[in-house]
Amino acid sequence: MQRLIRFTLLGWLILLVVPVQAATVSGLVYVDANGNGACEAGEQPLAGVLVSDGGQVVSTDARGRYVLPLSQTGTLVRLSIPSGYWPSGHRWFERVASAEAATCDFPLRAETQASPWRMVQVTDIHHIVPATDKISAFCEQINAAQPPVALVVSTGDLVMDSNPVRDEIIIRRLFTDYALALAPLQVPLFNVPGNHDHPQVRTELSPEGPLYGQRGYEALVGPPWYSFDYAGVHLLALNASLVDSTARSVPSGFSAECLAWLRADLALTPPETPLLIFCHQPPRACRNSQTLQAALAGRRVLGIFCGHTHAAREYDWAGYRVYESGALSGAWWTGPCPDGKPRGFRLLKVTPEEVETEYVSAAEPEPVAATQGSPCGAICGTMVLPRQPE
């Protein structure tokens, strides 16, 4: 960053360009033993933990400290949760402004993470208010699972379709209703963006708007790509949607920014670490899938998990096992998925050596009276129901 300084000397106008120290975000990653959210004497700092702004990735030093330069417009600072720990209050990312230096600490608690462990991948929820009872039944099914589920990753198309929506109030309501519907989950939920989670792209509105495309997802949900560890496995969430503002479309592919972050993250991750990868679109459907293949070269990938097609199948791609999962929404809540599989989700049993998966049918809720929802939510749901997702 540079600053232009003007002054006069003996009647002459002098212009100097001088460097200005960029604002930074810095902080501490530590074990919050007493759970009060403040680092106190005797509480352990954690070294070697990854922290990122979605572009740069740094590792905490021996004192548990990190420093990141801030971007011009602000930053979503995200913690790559280390194995054997969990953030207090599931707080693993923070929004910071770029106007001045910021401080962002991440308190963690130690927890036992035995292997094997179980998690759920759910995809293509396409939330609409009339389907809230079905999503509630899903939450109850996960909460009651035995052995217990450690976490849930929702791999995109969280809402029915935000692409053609112009009104910012309606866009905010779409994502708020989604969050409220999944709030009953008693295990941590991580989200990944899908093509339908990029607002205003199929409108004439300016790409510079605060809720346009990926910017809207970041504002209303969180980081579009990130990583974390669990029981010795490194989980990577990627955005496989590109925004073409000229064509007003959301083609499948990985942005240069996402891939640069992925390479930076993996550069600080030991090469022998097993990986689980989550994205919305199958890599083979992405226009630049070879760039993902190159970024993963030499890595031990236990599986790539995605959705988008509303079909449940598995196959090999570029030497990796890919699992497409059927949609929780089925075929627009009318019943089974287009391939005949029931509405459902994928259950994973994970160790550092392998992953076993099972596609599980979603529990059907008991018949209830018509769902009561916000007028805005109901409008959003009926507005886009006729169109099949791409």
Encode pLDDT of 76-115 as tens digits: 999 999 999 999 888 999 998 776 678 999 999 999 999 9
User: Among the three residues 110, 142, 168, which one is the final residue of a domain in this structure?
Assistant: 110
Q: What is the pLDDT of residue 247?
A: 96
Whether residue 269 sits in one domain with residue 146: yes
Residue 55 DSSP class? S
Q: What is the pLDDT of residue 72?
A: 63
Two structure tokens written together for 246:
């000229």
Whether residue 180 sits in one domain with residue 46: no
Centroid of chain to Cα 263? 17
Whether residue 210 sits in one domain with residue 333: yes
Of 58, 114, 90, 296, nearest to 190 by C-alpha is 90
Query: Who contacts 305 (Cβ-Cβ below 8 Å, separation ≥6)?
Result: 121, 153, 155, 276, 277, 278, 279, 322, 323, 325, 346, 348
Domain CATH for 129: 3.60.21.10
**The pTM is what?**
0.88
Whether residue 181 sits in one domain with residue 54: no
User: Among the three residues 61, 85, 110, which one is the final residue of a domain in this structure?
Assistant: 110
User: Among the three residues 86, 110, 134, which one is the final residue of a domain in this structure?
Assistant: 110
Are 224 and 217 in contact by the 8 Å Cβ rule? The answer is: yes
Whether residue 133 sits in one domain with residue 95: no
Domain CATH for 91: 2.60.40.10
> Residue 292 and residue 304: Cα distance in Å, rounded?
11
Whether residue 341 sits in one domain with residue 214: yes
Query: Who contacts 127 (Cβ-Cβ below 8 Å, separation ≥6)?
Result: 135, 158, 159, 160, 174, 177, 178, 181
Residue 126 DSSP class? -
Asked if the structure places residue 389 within a domain, the reply is: no
> Residue 310 and residue 301: Cα distance in Å, rounded?
23
Peptide bond before 147: cis, by omega within 30 degrees of 0?
yes
Whether residue 353 sits in one domain with residue 223: yes
The dihedrals phi and psi of 349, each to the nearest 5 degrees, come to -115, 115
Whether residue 351 sits in one domain with residue 239: yes
Asked if the structure places residue 175 within a domain, the reply is: yes
> Residue 295 and residue 299: Cα distance in Å, rounded?
9
Whether residue 156 sits in one domain with residue 269: yes
Whether residue 373 sits in one domain with residue 248: yes
H-type alpha helices, the chain? 132-143, 168-182, 214-220, 256-267, 289-295, 375-384
Strand, helix or coil at 20?
coil
Q: What is the pLDDT of residue 349?
A: 98
> Residue 276 and residue 274: Cα distance in Å, rounded?
7
Q: What is the pLDDT of residue 11?
A: 53
Asked if the structure places residue 258 within a domain, the reply is: yes
| Residue 345 lies in domain | 117-384
Asked if the structure places residue 291 within a domain, the reply is: yes
Query: Who contacts 377 (Cβ-Cβ below 8 Å, separation ≥6)?
Result: 128, 129, 173, 174, 177
Q: What is the pLDDT of residue 210?
A: 95
Terminal Cα distance for the chain, rounded: 42
Q: What is the pLDDT of residue 15?
A: 54
Whether residue 324 sits in one domain with residue 216: yes
Whether residue 89 sits in one domain with residue 183: no
Low-confidence ranges of the chain (pLDDT < 70): 1-22, 71-73, 99-100, 367-390
Residue 48: CB atoms within 10 A of its CB come to: 12
- Structurally, how many domains does the chain consist of? 2
Asked if the structure places residue 17 within a domain, the reply is: no
